Structure formats: structure tokens, C-alpha cells
Chain A
Amino acid sequence: DGGITQSPKYLFRKEGQNVTLSCEQNLNHDAMYWYRQDPGQGLRLIYYSQIVNDFQKGDIAEGYSVSREKKESFPLTVTSAQKNPTAFYLCASSIGASGGLSTDTQYFGPGTRLTVL
């Protein structure tokens, strides 16, 4: 079955440590996204990528970094510069530009809950 996988489901980090969240998709989608979800604040876009080897900052990119070396993979690193990293992180993908822009549906992974100890 096609879909998006995120690992791990739960992640604990000590202050001052970097940590990388995995996101893999086998939907052959061009576009991938990372969102942060905090209670009562909906979804906030961290980074997105429209194509391999290219990515753009979203609304809250400070303290995060990404890479897109393969079409299937879009890992997110939460660095020690992120002041309040405890949150639920969601990865998503969509067909992207090749599929028709404005009707694009997003497909989400199950999420990773990061807790800073």
C-alpha cells in the first residue's frame, strides 16, 4: 500500500541535542512538507520541498533544517537552536506541480511526538 511513514512515533531529547525525524513516502509525489502542531494552534509550516535537492522555508523555519536528496525522503532535523521543540510533528506529501496546483490534496504521515526533557 502506498503511504507516508514517519519514525519514530515518540522521541525524547535532552536539551542541547540535535535530533532527526524521518519521513518516507512511496506515493511518487514531488512535493513534501513538514508541519508542527501545538495544542490550539493548528498546523504551522516549517519547510517544504517541491523537487529533489530543493526546499524552501515555511513560516517557522528557525531552529530546523531539512534535506531532500531523494524523492522519497524528507528528513527534518530539530537543532539545539529551536527554543521550544516539544510538539507533534507531521510530514505530508502531495503530487505537486505536475498534478495541477490548486486542487492538490495533502497526504499525511502518522506523526512524531517530540518531547524535550
Chain B
Amino acid sequence: GDSVTQMEGPVTLSEEAFLTINCTYTATGYPSLFWYVQYPGEGLQLLLKATKADDKGSNKGFEATYRKETTSFHLEKGSVQVSDSAVYFCALTTGGSYIPTFGRGTSLIVHP
């Protein structure tokens, strides 16, 4: 079946550091890929998505590129802020199903 693997956290960074959170996937067909973010005590919200190979999703300074050859969708941000502290979930959906498969989430802690 489909699966999503994320790097384990927590990831701890100082403010203005560069962020990478790795995400790789296994899926049949050609999935759409998503990053969701969950701030403390809240529900998830969509951060960005990409629906075909080589697409780049971007939002709020975050970026991720759909790499079919490496089955990856790594999340990056050039300069993190304390307010970026949250849990980040990578997810996919495949053709014929809109039920997403989620990764386990990666906690990001940014110190001033």
C-alpha cells in the first residue's frame, strides 16, 4: 500500500537557520503530495502542495519540490522563525482516492 516516511524529530534550530524536513513516499500511480502544519493545540492546515512531477509548492517562505526520480518531497525554508515552531506532516493522495496517507509528523522547535 501507499506510505509516507518522514524524518524523526524533534528538529531543533536557532532562529534564521536553514530548515530541511525530509519526506519520501511509496505509491502506486502518480500521487499528489502535500505538506500540512499543526501549531500547538490546533488542527492541521495545508501549507503547500504539488500535483505532478517537478512541480514546486511554496507558501510563507516554505518550499517543496515533487521529485519523482527519488520519490521525495522535502520541505525547506531558508530562514526559520520562532513562530514556525509546529509539527509538520507530509501526505499523499493517489488517483481514484482522496483519502490521504499521512506521515507520522516531524516536530520543529525554533529557539530565539
What residues of A have a CB within 8 angstroms of the CB of B89 in the complex? 42-43
State which size class the interface on B falls in: 20 to 34
Count of residues in A whose CB is under 8 Å from the partner chain? 26
Q: With contacts A102-B32, A102-B93, A102-B94 known, is A43 near B102, CB below 8 A?
A: yes
Are B96 and A102 in contact, CB atoms less than 8 angstroms apart? yes
Are A110 and B93 in contact, CB atoms less than 8 angstroms apart? no
Say yes or no: is A63 at the interface (Cβ < 8 Å to chain B): no
Say yes or no: is B46 at the interface (Cβ < 8 Å to chain A): yes
Closest Cβ neighbor of B96 among chain A residues: A101
Interface segment among A11-19, A66-74, A78-86, A90-98: the answer is A90-98
The B contact surface, by secondary structure, is: loop
What residues of B have a CB within 8 angstroms of the CB of A40 in the complex? 104
Measured between alpha carbons, how far is A109 from B45 in the docked complex, in Å? 9
Neighbour of B103 across the interface among A4, A33, A42, A45, CB < 8 A: A42
Can you name 17 extra interface pairs (CB under 8 A) apart from A43-B89, A109-B43?
A: A4-B43, A6-B43, A42-B102, A43-B105, A90-B44, A96-B98, A97-B98, A101-B93, A101-B95, A101-B98, A104-B98, A106-B36, A106-B100, A107-B45, A107-B46, A110-B42, A111-B42
What residues of B have a CB within 8 angstroms of the CB of A33 in the complex? 99
Are B44 and A103 in contact, CB atoms less than 8 angstroms apart? no
Measured between alpha carbons, how far is A19 from B31 in the docked complex, in Å? 37
Q: With contacts A40-B104, A41-B104, A43-B102 known, is A102 near B97, CB below 8 A?
A: yes
Interface members, chain B 72-112 (any A CB < 8 Å): 89, 93-100, 102-105
Mask: chain B, 11-36; 1 = CB below 8 Å from A; 0 = not: 00000000000000000000110101
